[in-house]
Chains A and B, each alone.
Chain A
Amino acid sequence: MSTTLPRHEDAPVKARAVREEQLPALRPVSARGPVAVALGALLGAVLLGISMGPADLSFSAALRVLLSHVPLLHFHSGVSRIDSDILWQIRLPRVVLGGLVGAMLAGGGAAFQGVFRNPLADPYLLGVAAGAGLGATAVIVAGPRLTQLLPLAAFAGAVGAVTLTYVVGATVGRQGATVSIVLAGVAVAALLTAIQTFLQQQHAQDLQSVYAWILGSLTVSSWSDVVLILPYVAVSAAVLLAHRRLLDVLRVGEDEADSLGVRSSRVRITIVAAATLGTAAAVAVSGLIGFVGIIVPHTVRLTTNASYRVVVPVSMIGGAAFLILADVAARTVLAPSEIPIGVVTAFVGAPFFLFVLRSRRVGRST
């Protein structure tokens, strides 16, 4: 008490430094590392996707053709006209479409899992798949003259089904309560699937086409498909990304999110609407490709800090890479014939998922 401290000029600075060391600010949440890794995977998947196929083209040729299409660059690829056309008109649109669909299914899956706080939720939960399946089947059995309308019918069926789910869910349960919405989704999906099966049985000659559509495929993809779904996918992805922080708030449940000042039921409807729109567009051009919406977000969750601020963007990029690679497998494994891509995603995805689960458990116990 009686000793007086020497009054150094830097004494207050020192004191503050100690205080800061005791009570450090939290580190900012950053998605940079995982995003960079995912982008690397996506780049690799794109290059593989455009160079693999019946006509063998090298990685560097593929890269050069890409560069030659960059406006203002005036880069000359030196690749033959035919090869260049194969790349630009056939393979690249297929890769881009696969990427968009994969990004949407994975991003939508992450969002649905967050909104419904259910690890097994996927973008098809509220009837998107059943509705799209019914729309597509209706067009297919109506005959070849209407084929043009298939994407539109699938899209309308998907959006209609989810709307119906929300209406039914709101009338049977408390407004916006997740349990009644999910149950309504199950009921709506069962009903629409029943109608779809009935239609399909009445037109047995179309069974193969219906089945092929349901298993999903990127076979007939062109730039026009890309243009068709791009606006929906872009808007949907933007909305989901913009809600990535709020998805973390929803993780503590409706009540607590509300008590933190979030109108959770509104946030939930916004996210579901956005995810549905994008998924419906994806399904409309690619059919019902399964598993992507569950496997990809979970892989991301298990390998990062599990915040939606990381899970949403990284799932989108990773989903794009995953589906492009799945499509490469679909068209090369049994070449010249193709396997439905939905079979590939299930076949490759399920064991991969188990592997990630397992390695994580081992990592934890050590």
Chain B
Amino acid sequence: MIAFESVTVRYDMVTALSDLTEDIGSGEWVGLIGPNGAGKTTLLRAVARLLPHEGEIRVDGVAVSSLSPKRLARLVAYVPQQPELPPDMTVGQYVLLGRTPHIAYFGFETGEDRSVCGELLGSLDLATMAERRLSTLSGGELQRLVLARALAQQAPVLLLDEPTSALDLGRRVEALELVDALRRERGLTVLSALHDLTLAGQFADRLILLGEGRAVSTGKPDEVLTEESLGRHFGASVRVMRSDVGDLIVIPQRVR
């Protein structure tokens, strides 16, 4: 569904991503992990074409650089790490923004757009909040709202940049369970940067470990989440253990 072919992204000085080649299958959830500055955000932004890249990124077989912004937005929905949330915008108005790629330049949303958004609000448990201003919502509600806006794009690919970093523990699991349920229900392909390595191992089908702009390790969680590899690339000593239900648990170790 998403194919990277020798993708390199440079900022003025730094090369933030170099020579990445990777294939992400339809319906797969791939987690991007790696230390701060490894290039996770850069990779996601390149797919959404918010940054120019060298090499080729294809979504559904088409190079993103050849698509109009509107067609790309119908294929790829991007949720930044810290979405802009205008405090006096209403929940209903915000979700409707997700319909933008389906509306003509001078056009306005139709009844169908509104019912798509209404149903999304319903299925994300926000139905009663349509008239509330964003400033009155809790962190968990905002997180679901941002997801609702992305889903309103009805794009087959969902890019999430550290979707849980602003949430408490319970809300984190809840948010990722929701993403998992939605991707199964809608057949979405999910590429997400994940901060919490334990959660990354629990939810992603496959992980890509980035280190200084390179994919240093890819594969199933138990292939990537190894003490040796994490220790090397995160610059810290970690223990990887298995819980009694078989999940991998990643724990940092204090130097004593």
Contact = CB atoms under 8 A, between A and B. Distances in A.
Nearest to B93: A307
Interface in A290-308: 301, 305-307
Interface stretch (B25-33, B114-122, B185-193): B114-122
Contacts of A245: 103, 107-108
B237 interface: no
A262 interface: yes
A259 B48 contact: yes
Given A22-B127, A25-B115, A262 B80 contact: no
A29 interface: yes
B86 A252 contact: yes
B244 interface: no
B101 interface: yes
B78 A259 contact: yes
B163 interface: no
For B69, B86, B119, the residue with the greatest tally of chain A CB atoms inside 10 Å of its CB is B69
Contacts of A252: 83-86, 97
Contacts of A258: 48-50, 69
Interface string A90-105: 0000000000000000
Contact of B93 (A25, A246, A305): A305
Nearest to A22: B122
Interface residues of A, number: 28
A179 to B, nearest CB: 15
Contact of B101 (A26, A246, A261): A261
Q: Which residue of B84, B85, B95, B153 has the most chain A CB atoms within 10 A of its CB atom?
A: B84
B156 interface: no
Contact of B84 (A27, A253, A305): A253
A251 B89 contact: yes
Given A251-B89, A305-B90, A27 B130 contact: yes
Interface SS of A by simple majority: loop
Contacts of A263: 69
A261 B118 contact: no
Contact of B73 (A22, A251, A259): A259
B48 A26 contact: no
Interface residues of B, number: 48
Interface in A110-151: none
A18 interface: no
Given A23-B118, A259-B50, A301-B88, A249 B111 contact: no
Interface string B118-133: 1101110001001100
Interface string B135-154: 00000000000000000010
Interface string B20-64: 000000000000000000000000010011100000000000000
Given A27-B130, A252-B83, A260 B153 contact: yes
A115 B59 CA distance: 31
Contact of A25 (B68, B100, B114, B123): B114
B230 interface: no
B123 A23 contact: yes
B148 to A, nearest CB: 11
B97 A261 contact: no
A344 B117 CA distance: 46
B110 to A, nearest CB: 10
B201 interface: no
A206 interface: no
A151 B48 CA distance: 47
A249 B89 CA distance: 11
5 closest A-B pairs by beta carbon, nearest first, are A261-B73, A23-B122, A261-B101, A261-B70, A25-B115
Interface of A: 22-29, 242, 245-246, 248-249, 251-253, 255-256, 258-263, 301, 305-307
17 contacts: A22-B127, A24-B127, A25-B115, A29-B96, A248-B97, A251-B84, A252-B85, A255-B45, A256-B80, A258-B50, A259-B50, A260-B97, A261-B74, A261-B100, A305-B90, A306-B89, A307-B89
